[in-house]
Chain A
């Protein structure tokens, strides 16, 4: 069974840093296009980033320069390093697998909640 499990969310003060992890099973992170999508409370879905099999990464303008997506192939885990956090980064963060070529998301994690507040 393919599964993505996010961890690392929590309460953090503005300006702080947090690293989210996404442990994959049933698929290899290195062999797939892996994305992060977030959802602020009561709001819609916001695409955050994608990490291609090649290692190339792309980010939404709202997080560019502050967030970094990476992977550990030996741990089969995707990461989202979030720095200089702002109140508007408060959201549920979903890890997701995007299908190569069409880039639609067919596997989602359950999400982890990040709250940025003093």
Chain B
């Protein structure tokens, strides 16, 4: 199984800041890497698929990059609605494991 490790586990930032979350795969997954945002009591929401493709309807302040084993999600100019928990997920092989999550909190 491929293990996914996110860092940091939590992050404090201010409105307007730029933040980057990192995800590392235990083996190469090409660009089979997806990012989701989840708010309390809600289902996850797809942000990025294929490591860098922005899902329709997702604001352009979100971007993803990486390939192989190292990936990142960047949010520029944080808005209040961006404070949530973010998960990466590999979809290269089953089980399609998720990272442990990164909680983005308001400083």
Listed in ascending order, the chain A residues whose CB lies under 8 Å from chain B are 35, 37, 44-47, 50, 58-61, 94, 98-99, 102-106, 108-111
Chain A CB within 8 A of B50 CB: yes
Q: Report how many A-B pairs have Cβ atoms within 8 Å.
A: 62
Contact with A along B71-107 (1 / 0, CB 8 A): 0000000000000000101010011111111000000
Whether the Cβ atoms of B98 and A46 lie closer than 8 Å is yes
Listed in ascending order, the chain B residues whose CB lies under 8 Å from chain A are 1, 32, 34, 36, 38, 43-46, 49-50, 55, 87, 89, 91, 94-101
When distances are taken between beta carbons in the complex, the residues of chain A under 8 Å from B100 are: 44
Whether the Cβ atoms of B95 and A47 lie closer than 8 Å is yes
Whether the Cβ atoms of B98 and A110 lie closer than 8 Å is no
Q: With A61-B1, A94-B43, A98-B91 as given contacts, are A105 and B34 in contact (CB-CB < 8 Å)?
A: yes
Whether the Cβ atoms of A58 and B94 lie closer than 8 Å is yes
Whether the Cβ atoms of B43 and A58 lie closer than 8 Å is no
Nearest Cβ on chain A to B6's Cβ, whole angstroms: 9
Given A47-B95, A102-B34, A104-B89; 6 other pairs, CB 8 A cutoff:
A45-B98, A60-B95, A94-B43, A98-B96, A102-B50, A106-B55
Q: With A106-B55, A108-B43 as given contacts, are A45 and B87 in contact (CB-CB < 8 Å)?
A: yes
Whether the Cβ atoms of B32 and A105 lie closer than 8 Å is no
- Expressed in whole angstroms, the Cα–Cα distance for A62 and B94 within the complex equals 13
Whether the Cβ atoms of B49 and A45 lie closer than 8 Å is no
Q: Which of A44, A50, A108, A110 touches B96 (beta carbons < 8 Å)?
A: A50
- Expressed in whole angstroms, the Cα–Cα distance for A61 and B36 within the complex equals 23
Whether the Cβ atoms of B1 and A47 lie closer than 8 Å is no
Whether the Cβ atoms of B49 and A104 lie closer than 8 Å is yes
Q: Which of A50, A94, A105 touches B46 (beta carbons < 8 Å)?
A: A105
Nearest Cβ on chain B to A82's Cβ, whole angstroms: 17
Nearest Cβ on chain B to A69's Cβ, whole angstroms: 12
- Expressed in whole angstroms, the Cα–Cα distance for A33 and B50 within the complex equals 17
When distances are taken between beta carbons in the complex, the residues of chain B under 8 Å from A46 are: 98
Whether the Cβ atoms of B49 and A102 lie closer than 8 Å is yes
Whether the Cβ atoms of B50 and A105 lie closer than 8 Å is no
